[in-house]
Structures are given as structure tokens and as C-alpha cells.
Amino acid sequence: MSKALRSCLFAGILGGVATTPALAADFCVDTVQDLRTALETAQANGDDDTIQIVRGTYHVGGNHLLFNSSEANSINVVGGFAAGCATRSHDAEMTVLDGDNTTQIFNVSTSNDFEMHFLTLTNGAIIGSSGGAMAVFGNGAASQALLANVIIRDSTSDYGVGGVIFSVAGTVTLQDNLITGITSPSAAVYIGSQTTVAIHFTNNTVTGNVASNPSTSGMVYLGAAGSVPMDASNNILWDNGGVPDLDFINGAVLLTANDYERIDVAFGTGSSGNVSVDPGFAGSGDFHLRSDSPLLGIGALAPPGGLTMYDLEGNLRIWNGAVDLGVYERGDVIFADGYDI
């Protein structure tokens, strides 16, 4: 299938007087080459960019996707679109970026904000560095990163972090992400740097990952210097090879309504509602919650980092005034289809 990139520019006008232009560019892509071209264009076009990816599977062909920008503009990478990008779904499984076990999938370095939504990153691999699926470096004074409704799976590193690594100066938020099948010496997820402003880790499911170094400190590491606010809410952290599920500086993280198998450090002041029970997954490799799961409806409705509108496959995140732990909301599954109306 061949499709040209589509770019739309918008300028703001208020009361008949032109204001400072707030330019935005939208790209609709349905091939790997189109995706690479959109990323390259977005690096230096002076716009806040959104790259809309048509549903399907994209093999990156042994060469990772790269976004490297020093301009003061944001980028948002979103999956789930129908051909032409007029409509979209909210199901992360429908749009897949595949590293074919030969390359890291995504590498981002930006001076501004980065977002990714409703995608699957699978079969990433990196040698001699961290971030088998993706690495995000935010080098601006207030750069922020958001990863929401994304599947990170079956990726590796021979060096450090096998899944995703964030070293960002501003706020880092991970919401409604499934992280599974990661193999590495240490962790599946690393978030933080000496200049990170805040970390929010909410409604993620981290399960079925393996660290080859038995002395690793944790499958997920939340790390920032000083008294930076960090919180973890409504997560399921379970069955991660016997190593601690979560690690951070003692007492530094507010933990609310998480289910964990093992955490070896002291919780932050005010932590509450955490449990350590079998999640009651639907089956092997199926991380929906059974109807008898003890994690149904016990999540925090107003966690510090907020909630997404949708769960990982397009169901409303809040149902009947309650929130389930992990990436899937049981909700009204009879009427849910994951598509925009």
C-alpha cells in the first residue's frame, strides 16, 4: 500500500487580530518509510507535531525509529487510525511496531515534550546499552514525557534495562501500559534522572519479566534526586522472576492501591490501600482480571498523576464509579468496542 504523508498546519487568530501562531502539523502514515519521513520532518519544522499511525504491523527492518530534535516543540505519536486517519480505535494491540529481535524500536531525544499512545512495541533488542524497546531522553529544562495505553513486550537488553528507559528533565508519566516478556540483566522500566521534576506511575501491569542478575534492585525503578514527588497508583506488579517488583529511594514514593508481590524498600508517607495478593488474571498471557479477582474496583479514583479516559483496549477507565487495578477495566464489555463513535 502506498500513501503520501498528509500534513495540516493551523494558525490561531483571536478577535480579528493575529496572535503568535500556534502551529501544529498532523501526519498520517501507513508505511515504515512514511513514519521515518514524518519523524525526520517533525524534528525541525517548527511545529507541534502529531504522527497518526494507521492500524497494522510495521517491521522496522533492523534500523530503529529515530526522533532527535532541539527545537521547542512537542511530538505526539499515536496508533489506532483507520486508512486516511479520519477515525481511530483506542486498542493498543491494533498498531504494532516490531523490532524483529534485531534492533531497538524507538529512540527519542528532545528538548520539549514527547507523548506516545495506543501502540504495541514488540521484539525490541539492544546490545551494550539500555532500552530494548525504547529510550527517551528529554534534555530541555521543562521537557515532559507521557507513555499511555502502550504495550511493551518481548524485548531484551544484554546490558541493563530491557524495556523502556526515560531520562527526562521534566515530569514523566506512565499510565495504562502493559509491560511483559522483558528479559535483561536488571530492569524492565527505568524512570528518572538528576533533574526529573516528578514521576507518576499509574494503572500499569508489569508481569512476566525476567532479570538475569538475581541481585537486581527492582523490575521497575523510579528514581529522581532530592525531594522530587513520585507516586505509583493502581498498578499490578506481579510474577517478575522473584526480584523486587519496584525499587526507589527509601520513603520517596507515595504508593496507593497497588498490588505487588515484593517490594523491599519503605513506602512514602501517606501510602495506603496496597495489597499483595494473586491478581486473578484470566489465563496464561491474558492479563484481564477474572470476575472473582480481588483487584476489581479497588483503585484510587483521583491518583496524583490522574487517570486516562480509556483502558488499554478502549473501555472507559472509570466504570460504575470505580477503577480496577492494572491496564484493563472490566467495565461494560458488552458495549465496548474500542472505537470512536
Bridge-partner residues for 339, per DSSP?
89
Range from 212-216, 261-265, 316-320 carrying the lowest mean pLDDT: 212-216
Give percent helix, percent strand, percent coil of the chain, each to the nearest 5: 5, 40, 55
In the predicted model, is pLDDT for residue 102 greater than 70?
A: yes
For range 210-224, the mean pLDDT:
90
Range from 36-40, 71-75, 190-194, 281-285 carrying the lowest mean pLDDT: 190-194
Residues in CB range of 50: below 8 A, 6 or more apart: 24, 25, 26, 27, 75, 76, 77, 78
User: pLDDT tens for residues 142-180?
Assistant: 789 999 999 999 999 999 999 999 999 899 999 999 999
pLDDT of residue 11: 32
In the predicted model, is pLDDT for residue 268 greater than 90?
A: yes
Alpha helices in 173-308 (DSSP H): none
- For residue 107, what are the CA distances in angstroms to 188, 206, 289? 16, 22, 33
% of the chain with per-residue pLDDT over 90: 82
Mean pLDDT of the chain: 90
In the predicted model, is pLDDT for residue 224 greater than 80?
A: no
Look at residues 149, 157, 206, 210 and name the one whose alpha carbon lies nearest to residue 180: 206
pLDDT of residue 226: 66
% of the chain with per-residue pLDDT over 70: 89
Q: Which three cell numbers stand for residue 93?
A: 494491540
In the predicted model, is pLDDT for residue 4 greater than 50?
A: no
Look at residues 116, 118, 106 and name the one whose alpha carbon lies nearest to residue 49: 116
